Amino acid sequence: MNVHSEALPQKPGKPRRASARKRSGSSDKRAAILNAATHVFARRGFFNAQVADVAREAGVAAGTVYLYFRGKDDLLTSIFEESMTRALAQTQEALEGVTDPIERLHRLARVHLGGLGSRRDLAIVFQVELRQSTKFMERFSATQLRAYLDQLRDAVCAAQEAGLFRTDLSPTLAAKAIFGALDEMVTNWVLSNRDHRLIDDADPVIDLLVNGMRAQPGN
């Protein structure tokens, strides 16, 4: 055994920092590819787009895309899953400390419309491209989308317990109706190309669903 080699000091931290930089660079490149895929799918359509188009948009070789994703289907799946994960985190933050159930519905609506309204290309992928495949829709309905519907349902249940909503109303049905209304606002915004802030529709939609269209005394 060479005692001199044992006595050589090791420089702490360098391998770990290099590894951290490598992970960070890998994460950045993956995010850039997903961002490029969102642009390409929105512009060309999912079925017409090719992995090579995504690679060109991201400024990488086509083989690089396959280092991070299995193919075009995996890109679309990842766009949905990562966007929903981010949205669920945003709704949790928006609901932090909010006890009023009606305000909870307003905040959920603002996150929903504000998130998709800030990126038209992402809204196109969600509202148009994802819905052209039954396979994708079945998978997505059973994942993060259910968690989002549960947040709406919990707010409805809280409103019932507070005496604000009818108790004979199905919370699940109400949650789906609220989601459907918000979802339609996004679809209409995407297809009409109207130049307005989608988030501005959030509060009026919830107000309509909560208070109805019947004129109130004094109005």
- Over residues 36-88, the pLDDT tens digits come to 999 999 999 999 999 999 999 999 999 999 999 999 999 998 999 899 999 99
Compute the distance between CA of residue 101 and CA of residue 88 in angstroms, rounded to an integer.
18
Same domain, 83 and 126: yes
Does a structural domain hold residue 8?
no
Same domain, 177 and 93: yes
pLDDT digits (tens, 9 = 90+) for 147-201: 999 999 999 999 999 999 999 999 999 999 999 999 999 999 999 877 789 999 9
Please count the structural domains in the chain.
2
Q: Tell me what percent of the residues of the chain surpass a pLDDT of 90.
A: 72
Same domain, 80 and 48: no
Give the largest Cα separation in the chain, rounded. 95
DSSP state string for 37-60: HHHHHHHH-TTT--HHHHHHHHTS
Give residues with Cβ within 8 angstroms of 149, minimum separation 6.
172, 175, 176, 179
Q: How confident is the model at residue 5 (pLDDT cuts 50, 70, 90)?
A: very low
Same domain, 79 and 163: yes
pLDDT digits (tens, 9 = 90+) for 107-151: 999 999 999 999 999 999 999 998 887 777 776 666 678 899 999
Domain containing 123 equals 72-219
Does a structural domain hold residue 150?
yes
Give residues with Cβ within 8 angstroms of 47, minimum separation 6.
132
CATH of the domain at 49: 1.10.10.60
Compute the distance between CA of residue 66 and CA of residue 75 in angstroms, rounded to an integer.
10
Compute the distance between CA of residue 217 and CA of residue 200 in angstroms, rounded to an integer.
26
Question: How many Cα atoms sit within 13 Å of 69 on the Cβ side?
Answer: 23
